[in-house]
Structure 1
Amino acid sequence: MSSISCEVEHLRIKTYGIWLHMVEQGAGPLVLLLHGFPEFWYSWRHQIAFLAKHGYHVVAPDLRGCGDSDAPLSPTSYSVVHLVGDLISILDHFSEQQAFIVGHDWGAVAGWFLCLLRPDRVKGFVSLSVPYFQRDPNTKLIESYRQVFGDGFYICQFQEPGRAERAFARYDYLTVMKKFLLITKTDILIAPLGMEIIDYLETSSLLPPWITEEELQVYADKFQESGFTGPLNYYRAMDLCLCNAVHLSEILNDRNWELLAAWQGTKVKVPAKFIAGDKDIGFESTREYVTGDIFKQLVPNLEVVILDGHHFIQQERAQEVSEEILCFLRKVSLDSVSSQV
């Protein structure tokens, strides 16, 4: 790995039932960095060093199912309640009542849920790429996605256990990483009829300036060790509204839906900042929502920043994202001190 990875401390902690691996660096207020798909803690390598240098205790876990953390085999172990429970366990391990949370992709989903279910544990939240959507009790999006987009939609293809794993296995791990991490498409990821999404994604022959072959190999080596089933189980344990409940089966769906019903209509009131790349597929499909009034009504204390870039913005625009995060952390801390005076 790069020299950055050699400077972090590795540790494992026990949550309720599984072991989570994470890295840490620095001292000061706690900041949790939550990665997305297909990633592990290494996706935050730039922000770890930057924030630690500026006086923060930075902790970047491998989320359950990813990297060197335990990977339960059943998708039922990847519900939103499990994800929030893992984050609470991390805060408890470090004896911190509150922490700053930064999440990208699936890490952003986990962060929004933490803000919704346990706002008392969050000082402030920075979401990269994934905004907050209000829970809709009448929408089961996996079914609607199949009706609207068909089987070629990547989320639909990820639902069947083993299907994506078999398709990925036709390529070496480095190629799979290049197909996902270097994606430049801005349209919805729908493979043509009869084609798997991994076959539809292009393999870039030229690397962009923000990532090296060595760094891509770090990803490839880790996924060769851990496999893809754990990360894919996030998709298999969802009725994706980015803040909705599990839709693995009717029984499981009903149980989680009932648990989350108590938060129906609840706003996210913790200070929050949303950062996205203007060429991110997700942003392209939610541009009107993100830049309009509804998002800010649901998250009253919200700042929105749109940068020139794609989905993996914390790597592509590492310095800018790091500075945006630091600016937010300092602002929230200053506001907190001012409110106590």
Structure 2
Amino acid sequence: MEKIVHRMVDVNGINMHIAELGHGPTVLLIHGFPELWYSWRHQILYLAAHGYHAVAPDLRGYGDTTGPPLDDVTKFTTFQVVGDLVSLIDQVASLDEKVLVVGHDWGAIIAWCLCLYRPDKVKALVNMSVAYIPRNPKFKPVDGIRAIYGNDHYISRFQEPGVIEDEFAELGIERALKKFLAYRNPTPPVLPKNLSLEDSPDNPILLPSWLSEGDIAYYTSKYEKTGFTGGLNYYRAMNLNWELSAPWTGAQVKVPAKFIVGEIDLTYNTMGIQDYIHKGGFKKEVPLLEDVIIMEGVGHFLHEEKPDEINQHIDRFFKQFCDDELN
């Protein structure tokens, strides 16, 4: 870990913290919620050792990245975040180099958008947990989630600024992070109001073998400084993304792609998603989708739970696009 280089990069009007290591074809690693660059620590070391230049930013609103006003949800659409990454690519990659991209959770959503908006910047993509879902012109995403799952679904509960932040603060940042990062359930989290009243601090949260108290301490140290608002704003901008992305209705993602998801990941067990993935819908929307991997018995944070397998999947897929460039 001490080999990883940390620096700040001026992108799109903000100061973005990145962690990077290695030389060779650039691999951009895009994290989700409530993660940070740190979630890619296993992949950074592996990729650098196998001839790649691994770059993992803290996305806007997260970690040591600074600049966007946290009280303005309109600064957290996919357009701003993709704009950050395009600027970052221009600075960390070789001239005119298309980069390799890996995404997870919200990072997967952003990666799909990067490939949709700027396919000229991406050579190939490995995405995890969240499949590409095309824009439905008939209803807004948050409205649809509320209609199907109700007001206690975690995305519904994340919508009102300040409310869930106060509840997380009362619960305790460390405990809130443990609940999210240790979550391993095929059903989506339900967050009843007054969350702390439903939780007893006397009940310890058992961490999985792949997540240490030291890992939690790192995340906690960053979220104690930033709070959760930056990450939550991605959820709060979902309906705004729907409005702004109308020009891409019906557009396909035309970048070579591989998709990996855990069998007990809540995203894989969302209503209708398995039929969409396995019965042709996904391939129709991403025509260059080359492979879909379902990891048996694996949960949401698969790149941390099974880093060796994920690293090999990434390397094998990317090699076909840059074998001549690898050291």
Partners of 2:29 and 2:56 within 8 A in 1:
yes
Q: Which moved more, 1:194-203 or 1:117-126?
A: 194-203
Of the candidates 265, 283, 292, which is equivalent to residue 304 of structure 1? 292
Residue 218 (structure 2) aligns with: 218
Q: Which moved more, 1:12-21 or 1:60-69?
A: 12-21
Query: Normalising by the residue count of structure 1, what TM-score does the alignment of the two structures yield?
Result: 0.88
Deviation, 1:201, is: 11
Partners of 1:179 and 1:198 within 8 A in 2:
no
Deviation, 1:51, is: 0.3
Residue 117 (structure 1) aligns with: 117
Residue 246 (structure 1) aligns with: 241
Of the candidates 282, 305, 321, which is equivalent to residue 295 of structure 1? 282
Inter-partner Cα distance in structure 2 for 1:123 and 1:46: 22
Does residue 12 of structure 1 match 2:29?
no
Runs of 4+ in 1 over 4 A off after TM superposition: 197-204
Residue 139 (structure 1) aligns with: 139
Letter in structure 1 aligned against 2:286: V
Does residue 159 of structure 1 match 2:145?
no
Deviation, 1:8, is: 0.8
Does residue 85 of structure 1 match 2:74?
no
Q: What's the Cα RMSD here?
A: 2.2
Residue 227 (structure 2) aligns with: 227
Does residue 282 of structure 1 match 2:237?
no
Deviation, 1:320, is: 0.5
Q: Which runs of 5+ in 1 are unaligned?
A: 240-244, 248-252, 337-341
Query: Normalising by the residue count of structure 2, what TM-score does the alignment of the two structures yield?
Result: 0.91
SS of alignment partner, residue 179 of structure 2: helix
Inter-partner Cα distance in structure 2 for 1:128 and 1:136: 22
Does residue 320 of structure 1 match 2:305?
no
Partners of 1:191 and 1:197 within 8 A in 2:
no
Deviation, 1:277, is: 0.5
Deviation, 1:199, is: 4.6
Letter in structure 2 aligned against 1:300: P
- Paired-residue identity, %: 42
Residue 69 (structure 2) aligns with: 72
Task: Pick closer, same or farther for the CA change 1:152–1:200 going to 2, 3 Å.
Answer: farther
Of the candidates 33, 55, 79, which is equivalent to residue 51 of structure 2? 55
Deviation, 1:181, is: 0.5
Task: Pick closer, same or farther for the CA change 1:150–1:125 going to 2, 3 Å.
Answer: same
Partners of 1:8 and 1:24 within 8 A in 2:
yes
Inter-partner Cα distance in structure 1 for 2:30 and 2:216: 19
Letter in structure 1 aligned against 2:135: R
Task: Pick closer, same or farther for the CA change 1:204–1:45 going to 2, 3 Å.
Answer: farther
Aligned length: 317
Residue 242 (structure 1) aligns with: none
